[in-house]
Chain A
Amino acid sequence: MEPSLFTVEGLAGLLFLGLLGVTLAGAVIATCSTNLIRAVAGLALCFLGVAGLYYYLNSPFVALMQILIYVGAICVTIIFAVMLAESSELKRLRQRNGLIGPLGILASGILSWALAGMALKTEWYKSACQANDGSLARLGEALLTTYSMSFELISVVLFVAIVGSLVLARAGRSKA
């Protein structure tokens, strides 16, 4: 079956292609730009694209969480750190081993190729039945019943991380 461009499915497919492009372009900007602020902006773009992919994977809740947490919190925090610490990588482009760039491209290319090839070659088996529809209500139920222990533990982890980062950032300051 081939949906034409001017049906709902066709437009959804077109939008999906756009999201793929946004994700990959964001990843390229995040890894290759020398300006750190630009790299963080590329990361935010990439995360927006990934949130769109989550939407296509039937989980709008996780997509919104992705935007809220990654774009709204993590990227903004990284930008604050860039402003506190240093602005640009340009002036520190000192001479180092010239092989690092090409070898890095080679190694990561081989990694991606191997992972993608493995994913494409494998015969995936769909499970015969689905226990539920994966909606937000089922998600909340599972979080508060089956996964309640992990849910509490993740809260403890976040609390320890916040207190630990406060202690770390406080340690060097004068007692004034």
Chain B
Amino acid sequence: MNILVLNNSLDTYLVVGALLFGFGCYGMVQRQSFIGMLIAAELILAGASVNFMAFNRFLAPNPTVGQIFTLFIMAIAAAEAAIALSIIVAVYRNYRSIDTEDVVELNG
């Protein structure tokens, strides 16, 4: 198998999506600050989007659906980032820290 034709196979994109998802999960577990966890969440969403676009290109009967879904994922990610960052700023104002260990009293 020639590695120069990798861009024409569905499997490449699915593996990249799985890897991005794995990196995102690892960052989610390992990060100690809220902003780091937000970055990891964005990586997970990027992995999902890559999967949608790959299926859209190679398998879907209507190749607009995956693109539209990816655009919606982008919009949701933007909204999520805005909300999460304002929550982080509010938490920082009250606790002087964005460390996940320092705000454990918020656990309900």
Contacts and interface: CB of A to CB of B under 8 A. Distances in A.
Contact of B83 (A31, A129, A168): A168
A57 interface: yes
A27 B14 CA distance: 16
A102 to B, nearest CB: 10
Tell me if A's interface is mostly helix, strand, loop or mixed.
helix
Interface in B17-56: 17-27, 29-33, 35-36, 38-40, 42-43, 46, 49-50, 53-54, 56
B108 interface: no
Contacts of B5: 1-3, 9, 13
Contacts of A80: 85
Interface residues of B, number: 79
A165 B82 contact: yes
A65 B70 CA distance: 10
Contacts of A103: 29
Given A17-B6, A39-B39, A126-B59, A158 B64 contact: no
Nearest to B65: A142
A63 B46 CA distance: 12
B79 interface: yes
Contact of B82 (A43, A127, A161): A161
Contacts of A132: 62-64
B78 A16 contact: no
Nearest to B86: A165
B100 to A, nearest CB: 10
Given A17-B4, A53-B53, A108-B25, 20 more contacts: A2-B4, A13-B4, A17-B6, A24-B16, A27-B24, A31-B39, A40-B39, A62-B70, A93-B32, A94-B101, A100-B29, A100-B30, A104-B26, A108-B26, A108-B29, A111-B25, A119-B11, A119-B18, A150-B72, A162-B82
11 contacts: A2-B5, A24-B16, A30-B43, A46-B46, A74-B81, A77-B81, A84-B89, A86-B98, A112-B22, A127-B60, A154-B75
Closest 9 CB pairs of A and B: A134-B63, A112-B22, A13-B4, A119-B14, A161-B79, A165-B86, A104-B29, A115-B18, A108-B26
